[in-house]
A and B are shown apart, each in its own frame.
Chain A
């Protein structure tokens, strides 16, 4: 079973390194930006980190784990929007980032209040 898990991890890592090297979706970038390759690789590395968060959301043992992972995913997508703002030159991506940060904060507070009300002891 442990060998099986190592095998799945190796396949996922190989796929992500291929993504980082190949860099699909070229329409997301300025063609004449001087540091284009670096920004594209940063974009795919952050998408990899988002997939790690999605793993924790699917596989969390308790609901508190899922809430933590949702909070972290929301914060990280703000950074993704900032990098898209630089690489495409369109300033409305950072508007998406601001709105996402607001909604993520409010939803995290609401979910944690819900978690606090659901007590097992009393």
Chain B
């Protein structure tokens, strides 16, 4: 029973991975790609790790999978935020169709 639930988690996980990578290839802008790819791939990989924990059980590999899951959930948003901030400060242009840029307005207000 545990292994069947784990396989369902793995199915959800690789579907999210593939959709995130299609978004990484197809979307027009750095920020759009970041927003599509980071959340989808983080959820997908965490789901795969949780499915692996459910299949393997409370062994060494299962506990290591849980540790890796917690570490990914904690660090992946930090990395995405750092990339977005660095890209905006380096002067990467937004897509032509985007209508608002709050971060540039904030920086003008400070200066």
A: residues with CB less than 8 A from B are 35, 38-39, 42, 45-46, 48-50, 52-53, 55-56, 62-65, 67-69, 71-72, 75-76, 78-79, 82-83, 85-86, 91, 94-95, 97-98, 101-102, 105, 108-109, 112-116, 118-121
Q: Is the interface of B mostly helix, strand, loop or mixed?
A: helix
Q: A56-B24, A72-B21, A86-B56 are in contact. Are A105 and B79 (CB under 8 A)?
A: yes
B24:A52 contact, CB within 8 angstroms: yes
B52:A38 contact, CB within 8 angstroms: no
A85:B41 contact, CB within 8 angstroms: no
Given A52-B21, A75-B45, A75-B76: 16 more A-B contacts, CB < 8 Å: A39-B10, A50-B21, A55-B25, A72-B20, A72-B21, A72-B41, A83-B10, A94-B64, A105-B75, A105-B76, A105-B78, A114-B86, A115-B83, A115-B87, A119-B90, A120-B90
Q: How far is the CA of A102 from the CA of B17 in the complex (A)?
A: 20
